[in-house]
Amino acid sequence: MTSKSLPKNKRSKEEVLAELRTLRAEDARWKEGRTFSLVYHVDDEHSALLKEAYGEFISENGLSPLAFPSLRRMESDVISMAAELFHGNEDVAGTMTTGGTESIMMAVKAARQWAREEKGIGRPEMIVPLSVHPAFEKAAHYFDVDIQHAALGADFRVDVREVERLITPRTALIVGSAPPYPQGVLDPISELAALAQARGLLCHVDACLGGFFLPFARKLGRDIPPFDFEVPGVTSLSADLHKYGYAAKGASVVLYRNRALRRHQFFTYGGWPGGLYASPSMTGTRPGGAIAAAWAVMQALGEEGYLENARRVLSATDTLVAGINAIPGLRVLGAPQVGVFAFSSDSLNVYELGDAMEARGWKMDRQQNPPALHCMITPSHERIVEPLLADLRDCASKLAAGEPAPEGSAAMYGMVGAIPDSKQVDGFLLEFLDGVFDRT
Ligand SMILES: *Cc1c(COP(=O)(O)O)cnc(C)c1O
C-alpha cells in the first residue's frame, strides 16, 4: 500500500523509486504489443534516446523563449520540419503544443477569434464529421463555438454534401480528419477545403494521427490523397509528434497557412503586476523536455527512420487486415490508410469477442456506431501479428459455435448501446469519472 499522507520524514531515493516501479504491476503491458492504443512504441533503444533528450531539458520552461533560446531554436526547427513535410511554403507558421487536444483547441480558438474579429460573427459555428475526435467537442464546450456534425458515407468518409447543407451564415470553420481515429479512412480533404474556400471559410485538417505517417506512406508508394497545405483552402493543420512522430508524450504541432491566422491563437496580457505576459497556447509553463525529445527524435530518425517505421507498420497492418477479413464473420471497416483500423461482425457480438480476447491478454479498444474492435499498430506490434490472428480465429470460431464468452465489458457496452439518448450516457460517464478520480 502506498502512503496517503505526506511522509513525515525523508525517504531514500532507492526506496521511493523501488516503490514507484512496483506500482506498474497492473498497468497495460504495452511493451509486449498486447495493447493497441495510448503508447506508440518503437523499441528500447528509441525510448532511451527520448529519455535522455527529455532529461536534458527536464527543468527548462518553454514559456519564456527569451530565457531559453535553446528551446526556441528547437521549437522553430520542429515547426520548420513539420511545415516542409506538410507542403507549407515559408508563410506557414505554427507552435508546438502538449498534444493533439491542445493543438485542436488552439485551431478552434483561432477560428473563433478570426470569425469575431474579421467576420463580425459573435458566436461562430464549426462543421465536423461524425467521426471527428472529441477534442473538437471539448473545444466547442470550452470556447462557446457551436458544433454541427455531418454524417459519414458508407465508406466512413464524411459526406461533403451533408457538410455543405449544414453551412449557415455563422459557420466559420470546416473540419476534416486525415485520418479520423475510429476507422482510419481519410476524409475527402480536397473537397472539404474547396468548399470552405468557395464560401470564404476556414478549413482545419486534423492530422493528429496521420500527420507524421501519411507523407512516408506516400513515399513508399501508397495511394495517399493530398491532405495538407498542398491542398488550396486548407488553412490550419494539427499533427501529433507523440503518436507516429514517435516523440515523448506532450508533443504536437499546430500550423496555420500564415502568421495572420496564427495570431488569433495567441494570448497576451499587458496589465499584470507580475510583468508583461504573452503565451502562445493553452498552457502557461511549457515542459522543455517534450520539446527537446521531439527535436531529438526527428533528428535521430530522419526521413530514413520514419520510412523504415512506416514500412514496418504498413506491413504488419496489411497482414492483419487481410487475416481478419479471412476469418469467417469478421470484416475490417472501410479501407484504412494508416496503421489504424476497426473490425466488426454481422454474425458475432464483437464485444464478446473483445472479452474473449481480453481473457487471453489482448486489450483491444471497443467502439460504437457501429460496434467494432479497434487496432492501432506500431513497429513494436510486428511480432504479434501471427499470435493475434491465431487467437482471433480461435475465439471467433468458439463464439460462432455457441461457446459463451468470459465475463467482461460486453454487457456494459450492450447496455450503453441500447440507450437512445447520448445525454443519458453522459450521466453514466460522469459517474465513471467521479469514481476514477475518487481518493480510493
Ligand atoms: C489522438 C488524436 C487526437 C487527440 O490527441 P491527444 O494527443 O490525445 O490529445 C486528435 N485527433 C485524432 C484523429 C487523434 O487520433
Instruction: Specify the pLDDT at position 426.
Output: 87
Closest residue CA from atom 3 of ligand 1? 100
Q: Which amino acid is at 396?
A: A
Compute the average pLDDT of residues 194-207.
98
- Looking from the CA of residue 240, the nearest atom of ligand 1 is 7
Q: Is the peptide bond before 370 cis (omega within 30 degrees of 0)?
A: yes
Give residue-wise pLDDT tens across range 256-270.
999 999 999 999 999
Instruction: Specify the pLDDT at position 421.
Output: 81
The rounded Å distance from CA 171 to ligand 1 centre is 23
The rounded Å distance from CA 211 to ligand 1 centre is 11
- Looking from the CA of residue 242, the nearest atom of ligand 1 is 7
Share of the chain above pLDDT 90, in %: 83
The rounded Å distance from CA 239 to ligand 1 centre is 9
Compute the average pLDDT of residues 52-59.
97
* CA dist., res. 107 & res. 113, Å (int): 10
Instruction: Specify the pLDDT at position 411.
Output: 84
- Looking from the CA of residue 133, the nearest atom of ligand 1 is 11
Compute the average pLDDT of residues 111-130.
97
Give residue-wise pLDDT tens across range 281-336.
999 999 999 999 999 999 999 999 999 999 999 999 999 999 999 999 999 998 88
Closest residue CA from atom 8 of ligand 1? 100
Instruction: Specify the pLDDT at position 427.
Output: 87
| Segment among 59-68, 104-113, 384-393 with least mean pLDDT | 59-68
* CA dist., res. 112 & res. 201, Å (int): 11
The rounded Å distance from CA 27 to ligand 1 centre is 21
Long-range contacts made by residues 419-423, C-beta under 8 angstroms, separation at least 24? none
* CA dist., res. 136 & res. 132, Å (int): 7
Instruction: Specify the pLDDT at position 409.
Output: 86
Give the H or E element holding residue 268.
Answer: strand 267-269
- pLDDT of 64 above 80: yes
Pocket of ligand 1 from Cβ distances under 6 Å? 99-101, 104, 133, 135, 177, 180-181, 206, 208-209, 240, 252
| Segment among 189-198, 205-214, 398-407, 420-429 with least mean pLDDT | 420-429
Share of the chain above pLDDT 70, in %: 100
The rounded Å distance from CA 208 to ligand 1 centre is 5
> Which distant-in-sequence residues (6+ apart) come within 8 Å of 414 by Cβ?
349, 351
- Looking from the CA of residue 177, the nearest atom of ligand 1 is 13
CATH class of the 302-425 domain in this structure: alpha beta
* Mean of per-residue pLDDT scores for the chain: 95
Instruction: Specify the pLDDT at position 1.
Output: 61
Closest residue CA from atom 6 of ligand 1? 100
The rounded Å distance from CA 209 to ligand 1 centre is 6
- Looking from the CA of residue 101, the nearest atom of ligand 1 is 9
- pLDDT of 208 above 80: yes
Check if the beta carbon of residue 265 is closer than 8 Å to that of residue 280.
Answer: yes
The rounded Å distance from CA 392 to ligand 1 centre is 27
First vs last C-alpha separation in the chain: 11
Check if the beta carbon of residue 235 is closer than 8 Å to that of residue 262.
Answer: no
Ligand 1 test: best mutation among 39, 137, 209, most atoms within 8 Å of CB? 209
Ranges of each domain in the chain: 54-298, 302-425
- Looking from the CA of residue 179, the nearest atom of ligand 1 is 13
> Which distant-in-sequence residues (6+ apart) come within 8 Å of 4 by Cβ?
439
- pLDDT of 385 above 90: yes
- pLDDT of 440 above 80: no
Phi-psi category of residue 289: left, alpha or beta, with phi > 0 → left and psi -120 to 50 → alpha: alpha
* CA dist., res. 47 & res. 291, Å (int): 15
Q: Alpha-carbon dihedral of residues 336, 339, 342, 345, nearest 10 degrees?
A: 80
Check if the beta carbon of residue 183 is closer than 8 Å to that of residue 341.
Answer: yes
| SS3 label, residue 373 | strand
* CA dist., res. 428 & res. 116, Å (int): 36
Give residue-wise pLDDT tens across range 406-437.
888 888 888 787 787 878 888 888 988 998 88
* CA dist., res. 238 & res. 288, Å (int): 20
| SS3 label, residue 147 | strand
Q: From 3.30.559.10, 3.40.640.10, 3.40.50.720, 3.90.198.10, which CATH number describes the 54-298 domain?
A: 3.40.640.10
Neighbours of 133 (CB within 10 A): 22
* CA dist., res. 434 & res. 431, Å (int): 5
The rounded Å distance from CA 407 to ligand 1 centre is 30
Give residue-wise pLDDT tens across range 217-231.
999 999 999 999 999
* CA dist., res. 205 & res. 193, Å (int): 9
Instruction: Specify the pLDDT at position 153.
Output: 96
Nearest partner of 111 among 123, 94, 96, 97, judged by Cα: 123
Instruction: Specify the pLDDT at position 171.
Output: 98
Q: What φ, ψ does residue 6 adopt, rounded to 5°?
A: -60, 125
- pLDDT of 97 above 80: yes
- Looking from the CA of residue 100, the nearest atom of ligand 1 is 5
Which residue do the cell numbers 511549457 mark? 286
The rounded Å distance from CA 94 to ligand 1 centre is 18
Ligand 1 test: best mutation among 142, 177, 181, most atoms within 8 Å of CB? 181
Q: Which amino acid is at 432?
A: F
Q: Which amino acid is at 173?
A: L
Compute the average pLDDT of residues 2-30.
91
The rounded Å distance from CA 37 to ligand 1 centre is 11
